[in-house]
Chain A
Amino acid sequence: MSDFNFFLEVLIGGLLSGLMYSLVALGFVLIYKASGVFNFAQGAMVFLAVLSFVGFMELGLSFWAALPVTIAMMVLVGMATERFVLRPLVNQNENTLLMATIGLAFVIEGVAQLAWGVDVRRLDLGIRDEPMPWLADNFGIFVSELDITAGVVAAVMVAALAVLFSTTKAGRGLRAVADDPAAAMSIGIPLQQIWMLVWATAGVVALVAGMLWGARSGVQFALVLLALKAMPVLIIGGFTSVPGVIVAGLIVGATEKLAEVYIGPYFGGGIEGWAPYMLAVLFLLVRPEGLFGEKIIRRV
């Protein structure tokens, strides 16, 4: 196999997993944009979502029955979070809200394991984790079918969310609410409905992300750590930018795989785990608002 094909293989693999990082990071952006909260519980929501999905299937529901049930559940969880955690804390400073979401993360993780147990589950989406024959035969590039499917699903979700944020009524409302809640209400934007929509959407995003990651690496507690993987993506892309986190997800995915393969050997391997954070630190030094983040304008 030629070196170039190998490079492409690593790159494609990296970009595909990058899309999945984008998806997790989008869950954060969604909530950060609308309520200025860094939702520490996003990882826990991913875990709860996919664990419940597998749990419902174990109870005898088919794939297509478990899916809407889990979506409905996540929408309810999102709405309940808005109602019982955020609404009572409205107008509190952002550190208070961050602490609340840390607390929420523990509650969700606890409830999820209490309800469904702590065993590692397998999630079979019926897609083979083997190289796609067409790519392998025609180009000599070996990329897993599961990775490609996950990449495509993530891309569709990301595109749908990008549209939702851009010019739709909800998207405009969301940006307005994020910028100035009092002004947003005065032009007729219902704050609480927007927040509920956002948390419900974040719940659905968490489910999709959880299913994709769960299918690949098993449904287990480690999924909550996905939240940490989203950090460098958010820092590079900017906390408030949808296109930013998409690009940043791709950059992070490609960087970690390429770094592992080409630079890793000099460090004795295993740099995949920290390479993205190094990149994020560099970005913090050079462009703290992220690639597409809103420039912080302060009038003095």
Chain B
Amino acid sequence: MMDMSRTAASQADYVTTANRGFAVGGPILELEEISLRFGGVNALTKISFNVLEHEIRAIIGPNGAGKSSMLNVINGVYRPQEGTIKFKGKRLTGMTPPRAARMGIARTFQNIALFKGMSVLDNLMAGRYLHSKASFVEVALQLPRARREETENREAVEEIIEFLEIQHIRKTPVAKLPYGLQKRVELGRALAAEPKILLLDEPMAGMNIEEKQDMCRFILDVNDHYGTTVVLIEHDMGVVMDISDRVVVLDYGKKIGDGTPDEVRSNPDVINAYLGVAH
């Protein structure tokens, strides 16, 4: 089950075991020639890449490179003018966020989008929305199915709470939590849906080193423990390079690099985009 694409040395701090719960498989998501325009602005130009099952795939790039647009295309917030998206080999059309969620694509947002009036527990329970089937009448009369479902959802949520080490804040309204914890709760809500693919939009933005390391550990654990495929966006190269299997680099809406962290790091176009070209 050894994953060859990881460089052991750079991950020593984060990876708990050399073995990983799920070996990287075939392509689960394929993006082909995606172009997205807003009016006359080209947000994305002919971008193609794939995501393999169980891998951790990063999308990096400087500000305004089109990273968030890319994520928004994947879960149906934006519809690209050109290009196709395939999920498990099937071509997707007319994608919307709720449809993406039903297919098993969960996400977090760059500017945390939690249900601020609700407690941590309720936020995670909301994440179980698609796992609730009982009808209005069944809930009203507390029929067996409604009660069983409530118990199952509750158990699933408790497991995630334990997993993310947020037991102590489970009843706290999320608006009262510090930023780093809110990010963790948002990850928890996405996990509560038991997604196949997890899209993380700058999960480490605005965090201090310690919080970043925690978040890295959780992302690796999620991938290892649940086999969740992770697509994450980062602005900052450092930490992401350590936890990703493969990295796509965008700049001005175009793909300028794609490969393992080492390949990307030595790619001259990427170096130019990040450090500027010497004139």
Report if A and B associate in a common complex: yes
Binding site for B on A (CB under 8 A): 160, 163-164, 167-170, 172-173, 175-176, 179-180, 182-191, 294, 297, 299
A175 to B102, CA, bound (A): 19
A162 to B117, CA, bound (A): 18
- Find out whether the CB atom of A179 lies under 8 angstroms from the CB atom of B117: yes
How near does chain B come to A195, taking the closest CB pair, in angstroms? 13
Other A-B pairs beyond A169-B134, A179-B115, 13, CB < 8 Å = A168-B134, A173-B129, A175-B126, A180-B116, A182-B109, A183-B109, A183-B189, A186-B101, A186-B190, A188-B101, A189-B129, A297-B116, A297-B173
- Find out whether the CB atom of B96 lies under 8 angstroms from the CB atom of A179: no
The answer, yes or no, to whether B106 is at the interface (CB within 8 Å) is yes
Residues of A within 8 A of B16 (CB): none
The answer, yes or no, to whether B136 is at the interface (CB within 8 Å) is yes
Q: Mark B159-198, 1 if CB is under 8 A from A, else 0.
A: 0000000000000010110000000000001101100000
Residues of A within 8 A of B173 (CB): 297
Q: Mark B62-81, 1 if CB is under 8 A from A, else 0.
A: 00000000000001010000
Residues of B within 8 A of A163 (CB): 136, 139-140
Residues of A within 8 A of B101 (CB): 185-188
- Find out whether the CB atom of A179 lies under 8 angstroms from the CB atom of B129: no
- Find out whether the CB atom of A172 lies under 8 angstroms from the CB atom of B136: no
How near does chain A come to B162, taking the closest CB pair, in angstroms? 21
- Find out whether the CB atom of A188 lies under 8 angstroms from the CB atom of B98: yes
- Find out whether the CB atom of A175 lies under 8 angstroms from the CB atom of B118: yes
The answer, yes or no, to whether B222 is at the interface (CB within 8 Å) is no
A200 to B173, CA, bound (A): 31
8 contacts between A and B (CB under 8 A): A168-B134, A168-B135, A173-B129, A179-B115, A179-B116, A185-B96, A186-B101, A297-B173
- Find out whether the CB atom of B150 lies under 8 angstroms from the CB atom of A294: no
- Find out whether the CB atom of A172 lies under 8 angstroms from the CB atom of B129: yes
Q: A169-B134, A173-B129, A180-B115 are in contact. Are A187 and B106 (CB under 8 A)?
A: yes
Residues of B within 8 A of A168 (CB): 134-136, 139-140
How near does chain A come to B96, taking the closest CB pair, in angstroms? 7
Q: Which residue of the partner chain B has the closest CB to A162?
A: B140
Residues of A within 8 A of B192 (CB): 187
The answer, yes or no, to whether B207 is at the interface (CB within 8 Å) is no
CB-contact partner of A187 in B96, B126, B136, B139, under 8 A:
B126
- Find out whether the CB atom of A176 lies under 8 angstroms from the CB atom of B113: no
Residues of B within 8 A of A183 (CB): 109, 113-115, 189
How near does chain A come to B170, taking the closest CB pair, in angstroms? 17
How near does chain A come to B99, taking the closest CB pair, in angstroms? 8
Q: A167-B150, A172-B129, A187-B106 are in contact. Are A179 and B118 (CB under 8 A)?
A: yes
Q: Which 5 residue pairs spanning A and B have beta carbons closest together?
A: A188-B101, A183-B113, A185-B97, A179-B115, A188-B130
A100 to B38, CA, bound (A): 28
Q: Which residue of the partner chain A has the closest CB to B107?
A: A186
A144 to B251, CA, bound (A): 75
Q: Which residue of the partner chain B has the closest CB to A167?
A: B139
CB-contact partner of A186 in B97, B132, B133, B136, under 8 A:
B97
Residues of B within 8 A of A185 (CB): 96-98, 101
The answer, yes or no, to whether B125 is at the interface (CB within 8 Å) is yes
How near does chain A come to B139, taking the closest CB pair, in angstroms? 5
- Find out whether the CB atom of B139 lies under 8 angstroms from the CB atom of A172: no
A182 to B77, CA, bound (A): 9
A182 to B129, CA, bound (A): 15
Q: Mark B135-156, 1 if CB is under 8 A from A, else 0.
A: 1100110000000001000000
- Find out whether the CB atom of B136 lies under 8 angstroms from the CB atom of A164: yes
A163 to B138, CA, bound (A): 11
How near does chain A come to B89, taking the closest CB pair, in angstroms? 22
- Find out whether the CB atom of B98 lies under 8 angstroms from the CB atom of A172: no
Residues of A within 8 A of B98 (CB): 185, 188-191
How near does chain B come to A201, taking the closest CB pair, in angstroms? 11
How near does chain B come to A299, taking the closest CB pair, in angstroms? 6
Q: A180-B116, A297-B173 are in contact. Are A187 and B140 (CB under 8 A)?
A: no
- Find out whether the CB atom of A172 lies under 8 angstroms from the CB atom of B106: no
- Find out whether the CB atom of B113 lies under 8 angstroms from the CB atom of A182: yes
- Find out whether the CB atom of A170 lies under 8 angstroms from the CB atom of B136: yes
Residues of A within 8 A of B257 (CB): none
Residues of A within 8 A of B140 (CB): 160, 163, 168
The answer, yes or no, to whether B227 is at the interface (CB within 8 Å) is no
Residues of A within 8 A of B136 (CB): 163-164, 168, 170
